[in-house]
Structure 1
């Protein structure tokens, strides 16, 4: 009997001791949880996760939420714990009896979009503007460099407004070779511009390559033309930003056609500069106004005359182009090329003049009476036409293409290099949705009449094409450099987005890059 009682008391002492240890443990956990403002169960859950290798306390990848556990003294760093958790962990925690405060992390809107812009020596950009009188042999570029590269503002009188539909205060006599200055000034106001190159996903080189070479294209030696590109290449090769990917994350704008920057020989009679054949530039993404058919050439639109400041101005202009009256079936703005192998212009002018009731021709000739120097005359012709002829000129592309799209006029192309193989970032892949294509050999051979082909386009098809053209207007204009559109993407915005995508893809494909062979 005594043995049974001894066993009973032994068992009772064991139960009492075990209960005491368990209660003390729970009391300790509750006490610690109170210090952190949580229930014991919740604290235990987080404590367990903290010791699991797949759930580090300090950070959890791909997390988008942060949990804060303030202590009694919130000013003391050792009384506060910050834990990042995944969505699934958060759902588990907040189901407990005491809900905790969840604060969404403030996502950086510029993450993956930061661009670093070099502060180049002034000889590569600013000093060129100081010599604006000599930038082109045939023209004084100084008037076109004002207003951040937009050129002189077009003043609209009541009489001029009656002739052509324009929005007041947003039109400039912009030169087609001003793109580098405009783009540079747009970049200065880019939302995600950074002075910390380690944050940058891309690096912009604000070299005015087109303005630089333009002053040496005639009557110069190759050493004169290549002096600045060679000097800049040496400057870049010393930069740590360039060495990071050997230029593959760099980009620059060329305000002329691509062939002006790819001279193959050292003969003074050969055209252009060898900028893009220099090793420091060979990996960069190049943005000319016309491609030279190279893998790193991505042409962007010529600058037009319209540079809006607000989203509503773009939308208002599109609305006007939808309702404007167009009395002519087609039009052509341009000059003949008597000394050129491009015979198509001669035939187009003949056909247009022979059908003056359906075709409007605006001739561009040298002299004070050249109406093609007047933006309002050009836009007026394009506004009055359903179709606008865009044959090749000195090169395959024309600034006129973008002026016609701006006016809601359907472009008619005669060579695939005039648009379809060029502006892949800004124009639809399916050219038939916004334009008409007629092979130039058919026109030169006088086997087709342009007006007959266009008359066969149904009214429904024509209206659909015009609507597509009008939708393209934001994509081919450069807003005022001081503007920051909220809902509209202009040519600059689209270019930057595509640049970041391209460089991101390059960085993802190759973890290591071979250094180009430097001369």
Structure 2
């Protein structure tokens, strides 16, 4: 009996010692980790250096974005007073296009053009609202601006300027931009990098915010020439020739909510029969302005292999995504000359349809969308026909396009189809798991750009040097881009 009691006592004693040892080991591990900073703590002595690594690193380090909560007059006001927005004679009322997170009204598939219900009548000028709604769902948002790698300013600059583009009162035209910059400069976040970690998105071309003079007849606002604005970066559907302007794709009508919707669409356009060799969708421009459109339209009309969709004065419903996409889906090549400016939404509509773009100037795509289109492989997905002098340009489009081997055509179309995720803005009400869309690539590009500025500051260089300089050669081919 005494021996049995002794054995029982020893077993309990050993169990107690094991428990205490385990607790001591656990405590030592816990002391090596600082939960307040979410980092491992290093203990050093003369003989040892013990490091406990964090097994769950923060995936948002270097990616955190802080969103300024602007006064409503800089964004929500335009949504509640959409009847004041005048985009142009073709879009007298913007209100319907601001529905569904800026996607506009849902469109039916009555012509069998689309694959599912992720298509909308999206207006090309609603990118600010689309981007803001995506940013609200961004996976690495922070309420602590000291942790942020970038500061997003949700000012709807394009919707604001649309009220005054045809207005002669320059003071009124510039007032919102001036007031916004005054508000930003008074925030504590501004002093961290004096605005060089701030960025905003514009749903219009950058030139609309760079009025050169104070003549009433001049176009646009002076927003991007104001001192504080020069310290910020702007993402726009078309960049200007300044280094702190960056181009991101125009919004198309396709806003997928699942990876499978993208894959399904890619299969459709990959197997699509294309009876037309080439297509041009647009309206004529005056050749006195240096436009090549007149010559392109003449050649298209003269060719039995070309489909011309006339967008002048409502001749054909070019604001109907079904009509436009059907024309592009039925074509091998889509002609993309410049119009009122270098770029066109049609670039992305046509590529979305699997139609190979034909460009006539590097400023239309190659030197614009460097985060979204292949950087040094333009011939892999497009055809380039340079136009130095419109009056002397005598290229036969039909002959050039017929002369491209079928194997090359197939490879180019496949490259275009692979780029579909890069040029669409996904639905913010859900999340893509595999593909990166235009929003993802834009944010990644902006974060990298701001980190370059931080690197300059860390190395002792002046971050203002070159940040907002004008580059007169930006829309020409550099030596490594030709």
TM range (shorter): 0.7 to 0.9
In the TM superposition, what whole-angstrom CA distance separates every residue of 1:43-79 from its partner, at most 9, and x where no partner exists?
xxxxxxxxxxxxxxxxxxxxxxxxxx7329x7xx899
In the TM superposition, what whole-angstrom CA distance separates every residue of 1:267-315 from its partner, at most 9, and x where no partner exists?
2111111111112111211101111111111110000010000011111
For residues 443 and 362 of structure 1, what CA distance do their matches in structure 2 show?
22
- Structure 2, gaps ≥5 residues long: 1-16, 34-39, 465-482
1:318 and 2:271 matched: no
- Which of 242, 246, 259 matches 1:294? 242
For residues 370 and 301 of structure 1, what CA distance do their matches in structure 2 show?
25
For residues 405 and 463 of structure 2, what CA distance do their matches in structure 1 show?
56
- Which of 41, 56, 60 matches 1:106? 56
Within-5 A mapping of 1:436-447: 436-441=383-388, 444-447=391-394
1:491 and 2:438 matched: yes
1:405 and 2:355 matched: no
1:416 and 2:362 matched: yes
Is 2:116–2:261's contact at 8 Å kept on the other side of the alignment?
no
Aligned equivalent of 1:6: none
Aligned equivalent of 1:97: none
Q: 1:438 Cα shift?
A: 0.8
In the TM superposition, what whole-angstrom CA distance separates every residue of 1:479-517 from its partner, at most 9, and x where no partner exists?
11223111100000001111111111211221378798x
- Which of 502, 508, 511 matches 2:455? 508
For residues 131 and 427 of structure 1, what CA distance do their matches in structure 2 show?
36
Equivalent position SS for 1:351: helix
Q: 1:80 Cα shift?
A: 5.9
For residues 507 and 206 of structure 1, what CA distance do their matches in structure 2 show?
22
Q: 1:214 Cα shift?
A: 1.2
Within-5 A mapping of 1:205-216: 205-216=153-164
Which has the higher Rg, Structure 1 or Structure 2? 1
Aligned equivalent of 2:4: none
CA shift in 2, pair 1:372/1:493, >3 Å: same
| Number of residue pairs matched by the alignment | 432
Is 2:421–2:437's contact at 8 Å kept on the other side of the alignment?
yes
Is 1:262–1:275's contact at 8 Å kept on the other side of the alignment?
yes
Within-5 A mapping of 1:338-353: 338=286, 341-353=289-301
For residues 204 and 166 of structure 2, what CA distance do their matches in structure 1 show?
15
Aligned equivalent of 1:146: 99
Within-5 A mapping of 1:61-460: 70-71=23-24, 81-82=31-32, 84=40, 105-136=55-86, 137-138=88-89, 139-157=92-110, 160-161=111-112, 164=113, 166-338=114-286, 341-355=289-303, 357-367=304-314, 369-429=315-375, 430-441=377-388, 444-460=391-407
CA shift in 2, pair 1:380/1:513, >3 Å: same
In the TM superposition, what whole-angstrom CA distance separates every residue of 1:98-148 from its partner, at most 9, and x where no partner exists?
xxxx88522112111110001100000000112212211522111100011
TM-score normalised by L of structure 1 = 0.79
Within-5 A mapping of 1:473-488: 473-488=420-435
CA shift in 2, pair 1:81/1:336, >3 Å: closer
Q: 1:319 Cα shift?
A: 1.3
Q: 1:181 Cα shift?
A: 0.5
Equivalent position SS for 1:240: coil
Is 2:32–2:41's contact at 8 Å kept on the other side of the alignment?
no
RMSD: 2.5
For residues 187 and 98 of structure 2, what CA distance do their matches in structure 1 show?
30
Say which structure, 1 or 2, has more relative contact order (CA 8 Å, 6+ apart): 2
Is 2:309–2:316's contact at 8 Å kept on the other side of the alignment?
no
- Structure 1, gaps ≥5 residues long: 1-32, 38-68, 95-101
For residues 218 and 79 of structure 1, what CA distance do their matches in structure 2 show?
68
